Amino acid sequence: MSNYRPPVSDLAFVLEHVVGYPEIAAYPGYEHADLETVVGLLEEAGDFMVSAVAPSNHVGDTEGARHQPDGSVVTPAPFRQAYKQYVDAGWGSVPFPEEFGGGGFPWTVGLAIQEMLGASNMAFALCPLLTQGAIDALLHYGSDEQKQAYLPKMISGEWTGTMNLPEPQAGSDVGALTARAVPNADGSFAITGQKIFITFGEHDLAEQIVHLVLARTPGAPEGTRGISCFIVPKFLVNEDGSLGERNGVKCLSIEHKLGIHGSPTCVMEYDGATGYLIGEENLGMRIMFVMMNSARLSVGTQGLALSERAYQDARDYALERRQGLAIGATGKDSAIVEFPDVRRMLLTQKAYIAAMRRLMLFNAVHIDKSTHDPDPQVRRRAGEIVGLLTPICKSFGTDLGNELTSLALQVHGGMGFIEETGAAQYYRDVRITAIYEGTNGIQAADLVGRKLGVRDGASILEFLASMREIDAELAAAGADFDSIRSDLTTQLDALQSATEWMLRTARQDPNAILSGSSPYLRMWGLVVGGWLMARSALAAGSLGDSDVAETQLVLARFYAEQLLPQAAGLQGAATAGSADLFALTTAQL
C-alpha cells in the first residue's frame, strides 16, 4: 500500500482553466475565496488528510465498528483521534455560512476537500458527509430557533447528523414508510418506528447526534405526500444549549458489510422519541431531497476519490513490479508498466479519473452559480444544469468507481486479490456507492422521467448545443486535435439522436424510455466527460507549460479515441424500448 498523494495540482488546474471557478470567486461575499487562497487551502487540506486521516484507512477496515450490548457503537480506535483533529482543524465547516461559524467558502471548494477526505478514508468520510447533508437541509428549511440551536455545533463538527429514510418494508420506496409522529402538548412530536441502513446512526466520535427523521403525522395523506421531517436529537438540548437527558432513540444493531467496515450502518429504533417538526407537515420529501441532492454529488465524488486512491497504488505497483521482458528491453526483466496492456489499464484509469474530476467540479460550480449569481436568469439556468448533471455525476462516478477499482486490482495481478496490498479494500468499499443515495437505476429514471422534460426538452437540448460550441476552437487548434474533434462530434450526434428519441417516446411509452434510461445516462456521462477533457486540452495548450500541455492533450485524445466511442455503441440499448425486457415471463427469467 502506497501513501496517498492529494491531486492538488490537477484540482487547481481544473478550477482555474476548465470549470470557471474564478467567476465564482468574483461573486459578492466570496472576496476571501480567490483562487490563490483556495489552492493554498487545498494544499493544507491535502497535507492534513495524508497525515491525520489516511493512516486510519486500513486499520478501520480490519478493526471495524463494534456494537455493544447497551446499544452504543465503538468505532475503530484511529477514527476517534482523526475525527478530533478534523474538528479542531475546522475542515467540515469550510463551505458553510460564516454566521453559524462556517468558513463561507463556495460549495465547489468543499467538494474538492471531500474528494481528498474520501480518498484518504471513505468509511471515515461518511460521518462528515451525512452531517453536511443535514446542515444543508436545516439551512434551507429550519426555523431561526432550530438553526441557532443546532447549526453552530454541527458546522464545527462537535455534533454530527444523519438522515433517516428507509425502513425494513420501505427501502427506495420511501412513500411506504410507517414511522409515526404523534403531536405532544408542548408542540413537539413523539416519534415511533424503526429505520435501517442509517450511516453513523450511533458512534463515539461526537457527543451529540442530530437525526433527521421522516415520519407520518396522524391523518397524513398516503405515499410521499404525507411525509414530514423531524429533528430527533440523541440527547435533548436544554435552553442554554447544553445537553439534557437521553432521547428515546437506540441503535439495535449494525450491519455486517462487504466494505466500509469502519462506518457503522445502523438499525435505529425510535420509541416515543421527542422530535421537532422542520418546516410544515407533509413537506418531508422536499426537505430530504435537499439532503439527497447534495449527497448524490458527494457520492459521485466518492467514486472518483476511491478510483484516484486505487489508481495511485496500481501505478506504484506497476513501476515496482518486475516480471517478463518487454519488447525492445534488455536485461533479465522489465517493470510491468512497460507492457502495453498494463499501460492501457493505467491510462484508462487516469483518463476516466480526469473526466470525473472535471464533471464533479463543473457541477459544483453550477451549484454555486445557482445560489449566488446576481442575475436571476443565470441562477435559474445554472439550477437546471445542476438538475441535469446530478444524476449523471452520481451514476457515472460510482459505476466508474466500481470499474476502475477493479481495473486497479487487475494491475496488481494475483497480489490484488490479497488483502495486504489494499487493492481489494478499495474495490469492496466503493461497491456501495452505486446503491445508496438512490440506486443508479433510480438516477437514470430521474434523468429521463424528470430532467429530460424540463421546459419540454428545451433545457437538455440547450446543454447539448452548448457542448457543440467547442467545435470551432478544436478546428483552430491544429492537427493534434483532429481526432478529438471528429470523435466528439460523432458522439454528440449519437447523444443528440438518442435524446430526440427519448423526447418523442416519453409521452407515448414511458416504459420504453425507462428501459433505456441506464445506457442513456452512461452516454451522457461519456460525452460530457469527453467535452470537458477537450476543454482541458485546449486550456493547457495556451499555458506555455509543455509538460502540462502534452499530458492534457494525450489524455483527451486517449479518451476521445478509446473511451468516448462507447457512447454511440450504447445508442441501440438506449432506444431499444421495453419489448424484449418483458417478452419472457417471470418464470422464464
Environment class of residue 479 by beta-carbon count within 10 Å: exposed (0-12), middle (13-18) or buried (19+)? exposed
- Grid-cell match 428501459, residue found: 515
Cα dihedral 21, 22, 23, 26 sign: positive
Report the C-alpha gap between 58 and 46 in whole angstroms.
18
CA angle 110, 115, 116 (to 5 degrees): 100
Report the C-alpha gap between 376 and 24 in whole angstroms.
15
Query: What cell was used for 83?
Result: 475525527
Environment class of residue 62 by beta-carbon count within 10 Å: exposed (0-12), middle (13-18) or buried (19+)? exposed
Report the C-alpha gap between 589 and 582 in whole angstroms.
10
List beta partners, residue 211.
162, 232
Report the C-alpha gap between 110 and 94 in whole angstroms.
6
Nearest to 6 by CA among 91, 98, 130: 91
Distances (CA, A) of 349 to 18, 310, 323, 408, 418: 20, 9, 22, 8, 21
437 is catalytic: yes
SS3 sequence, 501-549?
HHHHHCCCCHHHHHHCHHHHHHHHHHHHHHHHHHHHHHHHHCCCCHHHH
Residue 56 half-sphere exposure, CB side, CA atoms within 13 Å? Answer: 30
- Grid-cell match 414530514, residue found: 228
Tell me the pairing of strands 208-215 and 159-164.
Answer: parallel
Catalytic residue among 44, 419, 437, 500: 437
- Grid-cell match 506504484, residue found: 316
- What single-letter amino acid sits at 314? A
Environment class of residue 323 by beta-carbon count within 10 Å: exposed (0-12), middle (13-18) or buried (19+)? exposed
Report the C-alpha gap between 168 and 532 in whole angstroms.
41
Nearest to 211 by CA among 174, 167, 162, 249: 162
Q: Which residues are catalytic?
A: 437
